[in-house]
Structures are given as C-alpha cells and as structure tokens.
Amino acid sequence: MRRAFDIQEVAYGYRNRTILRDLSFGIKRGAFFTIIGPNGAGKTTLLRLLAGIDKPASGTIEILGKSVGDYRRKTLARRMALVPQLSQVDFPFTVREVVQMGRTPHLGLLGLPSAQDRHIVAQAMRFTGIDHLPERHLSQLSGGECQRVFLARAICQAPDIILLDEPTAALDLAHQIRIMDLMEQLRKERRMTVVMVSHDINLAALYADTMLLLQEGQTVAIGPPAEILTNTSIKAAYGCDVVIDVNPLGEDIPRVTPIPGKYLSAKKPLTNP
C-alpha cells in the first residue's frame, strides 16, 4: 500500500537561515501523525511543505506515491485538505458559505454547487455539530465553533489526508477533546490520514499513533508516543526537565509534566535589595 507521505532528505530555508534540514520519514495511510517540538522548531514550515504551499529547497516529498510538484493544484485539493491556524476573516461570510467553499476542488470555475454538493455540506456541518448556525457570520462564533467550521470545510473536500496546524490552540478543554475526537472518528470511519502540528504534548499523546519531535529543523525522535517521549528526548528538544509517567487512561500513553522552579533564580531578583 502506498504511503500517505514519503519525505526524503528535505531541507528548507531562505537567505542564510536554515529552517529544516535533512528530514526523511514516511507517514502511513490512516495514521494519526502529530508533529511536536518547541517554538521555532519548524513545525508549521514542515506542514506548509507537506501541504504543497512552499517547495523544499532540496529533497523530495511524495504524496500518495506521486511527487507533490506533479499534482495539479485542484487535484491535490481533492486528496488533501488543510485546516490552518485560526485567523480572523474580515468578510462577513456565513458558516454555510464558508463550508461550501470546501467543495470548490470538485466544482467548476464559479464554484456553483449541485444538490449533491449541498447534501455533502449539510452532512459535514451535522458531523462537526455546527448545523444549528448555518446563517451566522464567522465573526459571531467562538473559537471552538470557528475551528469546527474550518474542519467541516476540510471534510467537504473529501480528502484522503487532512493537515491541521495547532487546531486546539486557544480552545477550552471540552472543545479540545471535541476537535480531537472528530479527527479520530474521521480516521477510523473514513480512513483519513491525520497530520497535526500540536503544542500540547499530552493531548497529542492521547490520540497519536506516531509522533515526530522536531528541534531546530531536525528530527530528535520519531515513533509511537511511548517510545519517543523520554526524559532525554524532551530535554534535548525543549531544554527543560520533566517527569514522565504513565497516563492513567492507558498503559502505552505517557504523561509529561514539567518541573517548576528551573527559572526561579535567586541570582536575578526582579527588585534590587
């Protein structure tokens, strides 16, 4: 079976700044793959390369067995959807209009939807639990609702792969779990490959079957959460000490807790004595 992604010796940067170097890994179809790492490690950049938005400086990226450069944009959009980081939309589109945009790769130049397309849109809205807000404007929604609108739009693309950039950032606990559960359901029921950038190691560890730990554009570790979330790898990537134990929810789910006090320093008081 072809893999969802095949990344070979990929590097990326501009001017003198290298952002990613010598990355090689694969993502199996149907995987729940999360990319973690400290700020500035190159997580979002890597996701942009996977989405085909930017081109690598060297190396190759294959999606479903075909080089990303060989896809027509529209064909690619039928295979793969992207849920970008939450950002403000200044135009008063309604929820239904935004979700309907997800059908674009399957439609003509003017994007006029058929009855079937509208059915798919309604289904995606029901699935993500936003079917009670079709005429609301994006600006009137909460962060969690907004994120589900973008998720519904991605689902309408009917993709094999769905990429998400920190989908749970700035959401409350319930909304975090709701988004993650939706992704897991898509993976199970529709065999979608989920690739997600995440800040929240513990939340990612609850769902991911494979994790990639990045630091300064390089792979620190890749594998199942239980294997890669170790004191050494976390220290190497984040530079801080943590306690790692087993999550009460499951044997193979590690739990990472940072130890407070590292930056509590008597040498650099806020006020002069």
Partner 1 sequence: MIADRPITHKIGLICLLLLGGLIIALFMAVAWGATGGSLRAIWETLQNGPGAGGAQQTILWRIRLPRALLAAELGATLSLGGLVFQALLRNALAEPYILGISGGAAVGAILGIMLGLARYPGVAGLAFAGSLTIMGLVLYLASGRQLLRKDSLLLAGVMVNAFCSAVILFLISLSQDFRLHQIMFWLMGDLSLADMGQVGRLALILAPCFFALFLLSHAMNLLTMGTETAQALGLRVKTIMVLLLMVTSLMISASVAHCGLVGFVGLVMPHVLRLVLGPDHRVLVPACLFGGGAYLVLCDLTARVISRQGEMPVGVVTAMIGAPVFIYLLRRTRN
Chain residues binding partner 1 by CB under 8 A are 14, 48, 51-54, 73-78, 80-82, 84, 87, 89-94, 97-98, 101-102, 104-105, 109-118, 157, 163
Of 54 and 216, CB closest to partner 1: 54
Of 74 and 188, CB closest to partner 1: 74
Of 85 and 230, CB closest to partner 1: 85
Give me the helices (H) in the chain, please. Answer: 43-50, 73-79, 95-101, 115-128, 143-156, 173-190, 201-207, 225-228, 231-238
Copy the structure tokens of residue 196: 């997600």
Residues 6+ apart with CB under 8 A from 94: 134, 135, 136, 137
Name beta bridge partners: 258.
242
Write phi, then psi, for 21 (nearest 5 degrees): -140, 135
Distance in Å, CB of 264 to partner 1, minimum: 40
| Residue 199, Cβ density class (10 Å: 0-12 exposed, 13-18 middle, ≥19 buried) | middle
Q: Which of 223, 272, 231 is nearest to 252 (CA)?
A: 223
Distance in Å, CB of 77 to partner 1, minimum: 3
Distance in Å, CB of 118 to partner 1, minimum: 7
Distance in Å, CB of 15 to partner 1, minimum: 11
Question: For residues 31 and 134, what is the distance between their CA atoms, to the nearest angstrom?
Answer: 31
Of 63 and 221, CB closest to partner 1: 63
Of 157 and 210, CB closest to partner 1: 157
Distance in Å, CB of 193 to partner 1, minimum: 15
Of 74 and 235, CB closest to partner 1: 74
Inter-residue contact 187 to 194 (CB < 8 Å) = yes
Question: For residues 267 and 273, what is the distance between their CA atoms, to the nearest angstrom?
Answer: 11
Distance in Å, CB of 215 to partner 1, minimum: 24
Distance in Å, CB of 73 to partner 1, minimum: 5
Write phi, then psi, for 244 (nearest 5 degrees): -115, 125
Inter-residue contact 161 to 195 (CB < 8 Å) = yes
Of 66 and 202, CB closest to partner 1: 66
Question: For residues 9 and 74, what is the distance between their CA atoms, to the nearest angstrom?
Answer: 26
Question: For residues 97 and 150, what is the distance between their CA atoms, to the nearest angstrom?
Answer: 11
